Amino acid sequence: MRVVAGEAKGRILKSPRGLKTRPATNKIKEAIFDILGPRTKDAYVLDLFAGSGSLGIEALSRGAQETIFVDVSPQATDTIEKNLKTLRWERRAKVLCVKSCAAIKNLADRKQRFDIIFSDPPYSQRISTQILEELSTSDMLAVEGVVVTRFRKDEQVPDAVARFRAIVRKTYGDSRVAFWIANPAGGED
């Protein structure tokens, strides 16, 4: 797995051993960041269910100000910390070894806001809608921010969840990627 573009383009990233994580392929990362475009520059990023950290690290490589990585697995967070150290980006990132729902609550309580939030939960959990609901009530998404979710293509995720609505949906193999923004009125359509 490599960094696709930006400051660390071509750098190889470590991945946690085993089959519990499924890092985004280079094709999926490239597609996500092509859609995000210049919004990544100077962004504050939250990478939930971070696994190897490939999405958050890609954001840093493309000019994000800071990324907070969240994963419940000590092996995953250790891998992310090693990748950050190799790239010398420890000061531009924080790594939290906690459940994503607990991190959302904690970060919201601290009034943290993010321009980009990645959510890539394990496919078997089928909790994409639940995470979007949690994020919606947390008020963590900055004005004009975007939530990017990756989920199994057969997981049923509606076009609107709480105060978010999907603006882009793409399918890549067994993955679906959706981009969400807050409805202007803050409610459902």
Task: Say if domain 26-182 classifies as CATH 3.30.565.10.
Answer: no
pTM (2 d.p.) = 0.92
- Residue that the structure tokens 């890609």 belong to: 58
The string of pLDDT tens digits covering residues 159-178 is 899 899 999 999 998 899 99
Q: Please state the length of the chain.
A: 189
**Domain residues of the chain, as ranges?**
26-182
Query: What does the pLDDT read at residue 189?
Result: 42
Which residues touch 97 (CB under 8 Å, ≥6 apart)? 71, 72, 73, 74, 77
